Every structure is written in C-alpha cells, then in structure tokens.
Amino acid sequence: MTSDRQMRLGAFLFGLGHHLAAWRHPEADPSALTRFEPILRSARLAEAAAFDAVFFADNVGLPGGSLERLSQGPQVYYWEPLTLLAALATQTERIGLICTVSATYMPPYHLARKFASLDQLSGGRTGWNLVTSASDAEAQNFGLEHQLAHDDRYARAAEYLQVVTGLWDTWDDDALVLDKEAGRFFDPTKVRRLDHDGPYYRVRGPLQSGRPVQGRPVIVQAGSSDDGRALAGASAEVVFTAQQSLAGAQAFYADIKARAVAAGRNPADVLIMPGVMPFVAETREAAEARFQSLQDLVDVRQALGLLSGLTGTDLSRADLDGPFPDLPPTEGWRGRQELFREVAEDEGLNLRQLMYRAVSARGHKVVAGSPQDVADMMQQWFEAGAADGFNAMPPILPGDLEAFTRLVVPELRRRGLFRDAYDGMTLRDHLGLKRPAVGAS
C-alpha cells in the first residue's frame, strides 16, 4: 500500500536503554553512560535511517530516597541536555535535536537565548520539550522545600512560553544588514524590546542574537494531565505521550486535536507521537525471549522505587500482591498516576504485576515481535486516529535501535508509511511544520 500521509519517527535516547535492567544485560557496557561516543553512534544510526529527531528527556535532580537505593542502577539523566545537543549539532547533519528543559527552574531569557544559539549552530534542527518538573527533589536544588503546586506551575509555564516565543521574535528575519560602508550591522527598526510585564515574569529583551533559523525551535510538550493537555492544545507542535491501548491513544489524540481547534489552530499543526518500546527480531519468538531476558534481570527494590517515583507516592510498604492502592492526588506525575490506575483496573493487575509492567517502558506501549508485528501495531495506530508518529524507545542502546532501523524501518517504507530520505534541512522541514512568522500566535 502507499499513503500520502507520512509517519513521523523520533529516537528517544535514554541512558543505556529504556528498560530498567538494560545496564545489567550481557551486551550492555555500563561505562557507555559516561562517554559521548555511544550517544553519537545512536544519533548517527537514527540519522542514517532518516528519523525526524533524537529526543533527550531530563530532570534537574537525583530522585528522592537513599543514596544506597539509588546506587542500584545508573542515573539516566547523566548529561545536561543543552550541552549534549550542542556537541551533537557539530557531529550530525540533518537529524532534529530535541531536549527537555524545565520552565520552572530556568529563567526564560536564558532558555530563549540558548535555544536560539543552538538553532543557529545546528542549521535549524532544534526542538524544546517544555516541562514543569514533577518532584520535590528537583525543587530542593533551587531553594524550595516542595515543588510548586501543579496549577501554579502550568500557569507559569503558559506565560513562560509567551516570553520565550516573544524573545525569539524580537528580531525580524532580515534585521541583519551587515553594511560595512554605512557602518550598520543591523537595522534598528527591525529589532525591538519585548518589555513583558506579567504575573510571573518581567523581561525587557531583545535577545542578543538574530532570529532562530526556524523562526522558532519546534515546541514539544509531554504532560498528559488536564493542565498539560490544555497547554499542548494551545501551544505545542509535537506532543509526546504514554498510551497503553489503541482506544486510549485514540481518545487522547482526539482530545488534543479538539483543544487545538478550540484555540484557533489547525489540528494538523499538532503532531501526536506516543512512545513505543520495540523488542524486534527476525522472529516473534526471538523478540519475546529478548523481552523476558530483561524482565528476569529486574531488581525488585529498584522496580518498586521506579513505580513510587512515577506515581508520586512511596509504595515501599505496600502489599505487592494486593491491588493497586488508592493513591492521593499529587503535585507531579498526575497523568502517569492515572494511566497506571487505569491499567491496573482494566487488566486486573496487582501491584507486583503493575510494577513489572512499569519497568519496561514506564507506562509507554511495549511491542515484541517480528518486523511485521511491530510495523502492524504502528500502522494500525497511525491509520486509526491514534498517532501521527512515534518516539521509538529502544530497550538497550545501541543494539535495539540498530535492530529497529534495520528491520522495522524498511518494513514501514515498503508499506509507503515512512520516507526513504530527508526532503529538507530543518526539523520543521522533516515534520512538515510551517515556519512561523514574527508575531504569529
């Protein structure tokens, strides 16, 4: 079959791999976490397969709990992501470069300047995943005892985004004149102060550099709470989400598109990309065996710590063989807490079973099978109004990313669902997103 609509693909690069036990697998090299070359290898694998982007998550603090417990596994947010993107920009040519930066803990002028610089250094390949942070451990690195209230964080984030996009627009596209004879570097009529004065931020501007190559870096959003969805519908261009079922993914997709329409936007300008963890091998049996080999390496203490973090509640004293407990609402991870509650109820899982579900992909969809099996699942979601594309989450890096690019990508191309090569140079080109004009809402 062929299709005019093309699937979007991101490679979510995460530590030594997304499975909690990836670092303990015989093929994993734990020291790779501390070296740039393995990350570059994965980014180049994705670029050779014409992925839209590589994606890096982040938080700004070690999780809560004792250092003894934390020492049972690697710290996946080892690298500061803006620094990492700058290094990757010099060693790659076409692939998009997306990373997470919290709107809660970096002043908006800093973020606007850093991403403008990265967009220029990379030739227009950057994207910013806007998060508000979700833990007290992060807040305590910035002079707070507890994180800000959920509603307050998102109200701040909406204004923060307004400031950042405004700063990117303080220079017109043709402001630089570079006229030696006249002694004029830029046209002062095409540069303006921002003079933002809002409830949370006062920022004069303008930026110190010209407008980003893309006009604005691509705005990515990953929150699935009601506040997160509202922000995504109003502002995001790519939405990264965790969904377990086709029906759930369809409902989320329809909700975000409807919110975009209500905000006066074209729903095609908001791309929904669920995460998918692919265990792929030449046969379904081999893929399932690989999945089980990692599940068998899981440390229960570490697994329970992960689920506690994802639900915002200490589960260390809970009955592992009892039902998923009723949890109090939290100020962080609301969307993920609700997802796990729904999975436990729909599938009748006790806490231990849910914990083993969480260790593989932290609530994202897991699919194990042949190239055809994996492509079937992706095609079904893509064509059934559940996804515009996917963020691939390799269980072990780089091996499972290599297997995906070698086995699944050719199958998607055979079905006419994914491009053979890049058509443009910028991340907006890859994603089919228009370049915003100065002052665009």
Q: Which tokens hold the place of 66?
A: 């004792």
Task: Write down the number of H helices and E strands in the chain.
Answer: 16, 13
pLDDT tens digit string along 175-186?
Answer: 999 999 999 999
The predicted pLDDT at position 132 comes to: 92
The predicted pLDDT at position 334 comes to: 66
The predicted pLDDT at position 348 comes to: 84
The predicted pLDDT at position 363 comes to: 85
pTM of the model: 0.93
Give the integer Cα–Cα distance in Å for 301 and 317. Answer: 11
Spans in the chain with pLDDT lower than 70: 1-3, 330-334
pLDDT tens digit string along 89-127?
Answer: 999 999 999 999 999 999 999 999 999 999 999 999 999
The predicted pLDDT at position 339 comes to: 77
Angle between helices 351-361 and 284-295 (to 10 degrees): 110
Task: Classify burial at 80, counting beta carbons within 10 Å of its beta carbon; exposed 0-12, middle 13-18, buried 19 or more.
Answer: middle
- List strand residue ranges (DSSP E) for 207-300, in order: 218-221, 238-241, 271-280
The predicted pLDDT at position 2 comes to: 44
The predicted pLDDT at position 1 comes to: 41
